[in-house]
């Protein structure tokens, strides 16, 4: 055995991999990591082989080498499974899903995504569930079903927002942005209203992902997110915002050697040049990346490349080149459709099957969650408490914002509650709070949100209710409480409510709550027992 293949020699070679990676020589680092993996596997040095394998697939990702990602991943997967490193195995499976999608190997992608969902279901792990649903959604989007893809991604986001891990939320938001951009390309020229709505949703998701980047030091994340945001802004018609972002992301991508992202961002910059009429410049830019992108066999990137070449050549009047690009684009689209049908046929992956996997995973999560519910309930009234509101509401607000659905948030306070406690005792005060909770709950739909967030303070959130109707509902609640037979509790007892209300748009929880709270203070100042609507310009 060569001295370099002994434990100390292998450790030294693994350290050399890290040095090459830090120096930015990613291709050399990967070659060195593969050599260490092979030597360690032959020597039975399982721990070193595992670390070398992890280095290989991380470098594949940064190089945009999806063929290498699948090859190295296939070698690494059984070692991760044997070591019981579940989260790293889950991350590997999902990255292999995306690589298989890039190469239009949808049969493999769906198998891996299905395995990841099954593992998440078995473990009842919200983190794994969110990322697995996102990977499954990516499969459907890349196969051409952007609608199913966006639906699965939106559900992944609802789960991700329950996970206190910025990485998970960033990944799902970034992937949801990419799905919406994919829907834009599919609907552009077919249903322009749908296409523009999709790209506006993409901007919202990308900005939310971008806000998480300061908590995530890996430069690859910034290139991914900024590249997607720039692409979405470009197609939303905001070139003054898009172009600096795209050029900066391209410079960072090239400097870090992130080839796949370099090609995609280059296509976006070429589209911006087309909008400016710089057609020769756009074609030259695309020609510069064409050979490498074609050699890498990245299906989705090639579709985008040929589509952009077609648009530039058509505008330039180069009919021959435009026709060649259109034919290449159509051939890739037919190949994608054929592989999609074959993958679904062979694996029996239907919508019903997808729903079954998702519902079983959610059922397992809910079973585990029941043990934590007590901490999210108000002990006196049984209503949701502030913690539950903060955990559950953001996901519903994000979903409402994506479709611009109406939302109204009301902050409700019992008038002179301290006086009730002082005159009649705290036991009766508690009875009043329990009755208020019941009266409010009975006057709301099951889908409406009701929580007790302070001593005598409640929050009501009405979804999918027009603003005028929401005000009517809240006024009925106020009158319902005022007209209740409080004198049966104690002679002379009267209970009234003051209510502050804020309507979306403006879908973020804290600003929406603050606007409603300011309106509540005005209701108190104006004499209590009344409803006051927040002014449109308040605390946005």
pLDDT one-digit tens code per residue, 144-165: 777 788 888 888 888 888 888 8
Could you tell me if 276 and 337 lie in one domain?
A: yes
Could you tell me if 49 and 145 lie in one domain?
A: no
At 350 the pLDDT is 45
The last residue of one of the domains, among 296, 330, 352, is 352
Could you tell me if 446 and 513 lie in one domain?
A: yes
Could you tell me if 121 and 180 lie in one domain?
A: yes
380 in any annotated domain: no
Residues 6+ apart with CB under 8 A from 449: 384, 389, 392, 393, 396, 459, 460, 461, 463
Range of the domain at 192: 85-103+113-352
**Strand ranges of the sheet holding 531-533, from the earlier edge strand across to the other edge:** 449-452, 457-463, 407-414, 497-503, 531-533
Could you tell me if 77 and 95 lie in one domain?
A: no
SS3 377: strand
Region at 445 (left for phi over 0; alpha for psi -120 to 50; beta for the rest): beta
- Is residue 271 within 8 A of residue 308, CB to CB? The reply is yes
At 343 the pLDDT is 53
359 in any annotated domain: no
Could you tell me if 55 and 180 lie in one domain?
A: no
- Is residue 131 within 8 A of residue 155, CB to CB? The reply is no
pTM score above 0.85 = no
Could you tell me if 182 and 98 lie in one domain?
A: yes
Could you tell me if 244 and 284 lie in one domain?
A: yes
Instruction: Please state the domain count of the chain.
Output: 3
At 62 the pLDDT is 77
Could you tell me if 156 and 282 lie in one domain?
A: yes
Cα distance between residue 387 and residue 375, in whole Å: 8
Omega prior to 505 cis, within 30 of 0: yes
Cα distance between residue 225 and residue 175, in whole Å: 9
**Please, which contacts does 44-51 make with residues 24 or more away whose CB atoms are closer than 8 Å?**
45/7, 45/10, 46/79, 48/7, 48/10, 48/11, 48/14, 49/79, 50/76, 50/79, 50/80, 50/83, 51/14
**β-strands 497-503, 531-533 pairing:** parallel
At 349 the pLDDT is 45
250 in any annotated domain: yes
Q: How far is CA 311 from CA 178, 267, 277, 284, in A?
A: 21, 11, 11, 14
Supply the DSSP string of 18-51, one letter for each residue.
Answer: HHHHHTT-HHHHHHHHHHHHHHHHHHT-HHHHHH
364 in any annotated domain: no
Cα distance between residue 460 and residue 310, in whole Å: 52
Tokens of 424: 């009649």
Measured N-to-C along each axis, helices 146-160 and 351-369 cross at an angle, to the nearest 10 degrees, of: 10
- CATH code for position 509: 3.30.70.270
Supply the DSSP string of 203-220, one letter for each residue.
Answer: HHHHHHHHTTGGG---HH
58 in any annotated domain: yes
Q: How far is CA 536 from CA 207, 518, 526, in A?
A: 23, 12, 19
Tokens of 14: 């693994």
Could you tell me if 166 and 315 lie in one domain?
A: yes
At 107 the pLDDT is 75
Cα distance between residue 359 and residue 167, in whole Å: 24
Could you tell me if 452 and 495 lie in one domain?
A: yes
Closest to 474 (Cα-Cα) out of 523, 440, 447, 451:
440
Could you tell me if 160 and 280 lie in one domain?
A: yes
Regions in the chain scoring below 70 on pLDDT: 1-7, 296-299, 333, 336-375, 537-540
At 375 the pLDDT is 62
């Amino acid at each position: 055995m060569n001295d370099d293949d002994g434990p100390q020699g292998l450790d030294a070679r693994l350290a050399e991999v890290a040095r090459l990676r830090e120096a930015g020589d990613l291709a050399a680092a990967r070659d060195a990591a593969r050599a260490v993996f092979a030597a360690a596997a032959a020597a039975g040095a399982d721990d070193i082989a595992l670390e070398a394998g992890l280095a290989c697939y991380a470098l594949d990702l940064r190089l945009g080498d999806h063929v290498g990602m699948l090859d190295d991943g296939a070698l690494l997967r059984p070692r991760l499974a044997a070591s019981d490193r579940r989260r790293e195995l889950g991350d590997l499976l999902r990255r292999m899903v995306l690589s298989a999608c890039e190469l239009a190997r949808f049969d493999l992608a769906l198998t891996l995504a299905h395995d990841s969902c099954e593992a998440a279901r078995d473990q009842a792990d919200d983190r794994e569930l969110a990322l697995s649903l996102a990977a499954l959604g990516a499969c459907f989007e890349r196969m051409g079903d952007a609608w199913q893809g966006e639906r699965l991604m939106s559900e992944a986001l609802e789960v991700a927002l329950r996970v206190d891990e910025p990485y998970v939320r960033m990944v799902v938001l970034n992937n949801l942005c990419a799905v919406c951009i994919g829907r834009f390309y599919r609907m552009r020229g077919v249903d322009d209203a749908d296409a523009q709505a999709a790209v506006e949703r993409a901007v919202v998701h990308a900005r939310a992902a971008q806000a998480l980047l300061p908590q995530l030091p890996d430069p690859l994340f910034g290139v991914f997110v900024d590249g997607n945001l720039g692409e979405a802004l470009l197609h939303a018609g905001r070139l003054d915002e898009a172009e600096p972002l795209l050029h900066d992301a391209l410079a960072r991508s090239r400097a870090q050697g992130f080839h796949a992202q370099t090609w995609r961002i280059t296509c976006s910059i070429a589209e911006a040049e087309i909008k400016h009429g710089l057609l020769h410049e756009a074609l030259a830019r695309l020609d510069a990346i064409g050979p490498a992108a074609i050699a890498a066999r990245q299906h989705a990137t090639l579709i985008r490349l040929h589509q952009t070449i077609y648009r530039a050549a058509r505008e330039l009047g180069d009919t021959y080149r435009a026709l060649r690009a259109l034919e290449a684009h159509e051939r890739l689209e037919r190949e994608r459709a054929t592989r999609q049908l074959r993958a679904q046929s062979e694996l029996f992956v239907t919508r019903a099957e997808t729903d079954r996997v998702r519902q079983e995973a959610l059922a397992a999560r809910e079973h585990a969650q029941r043990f934590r519910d007590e901490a999210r309930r108000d002990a006196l009234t049984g209503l949701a408490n502030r913690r539950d509101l903060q955990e559950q509401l953001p996901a519903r607000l994000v979903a409402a914002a994506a479709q611009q659905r109406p939302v109204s948030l009301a902050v409700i306070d019992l008038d002179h509650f301290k006086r009730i406690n002082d005159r009649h005792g705290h036991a009766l005060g508690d009875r009043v709070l329990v009755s208020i909770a019941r009266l409010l709950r009975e006057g709301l739909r099951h889908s409406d949100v009701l929580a007790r967030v302070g001593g005598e303070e409640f929050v009501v959130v009405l979804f999918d209710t027009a603003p005028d109707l929401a005000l009517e509902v809240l006024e009925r609640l106020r009158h319902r409480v005022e007209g209740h037979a409080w004198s049966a509790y104690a002679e002379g007892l009267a209970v009234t409510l003051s209510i502050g209300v804020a309507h979306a748009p403006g879908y973020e929880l804290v600003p929406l709550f603050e606007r409603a709270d300011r309106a509540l203070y005005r209701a108190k100042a104006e004499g209590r027992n009344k409803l006051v609507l927040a002014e449109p310009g308040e605390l946005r």
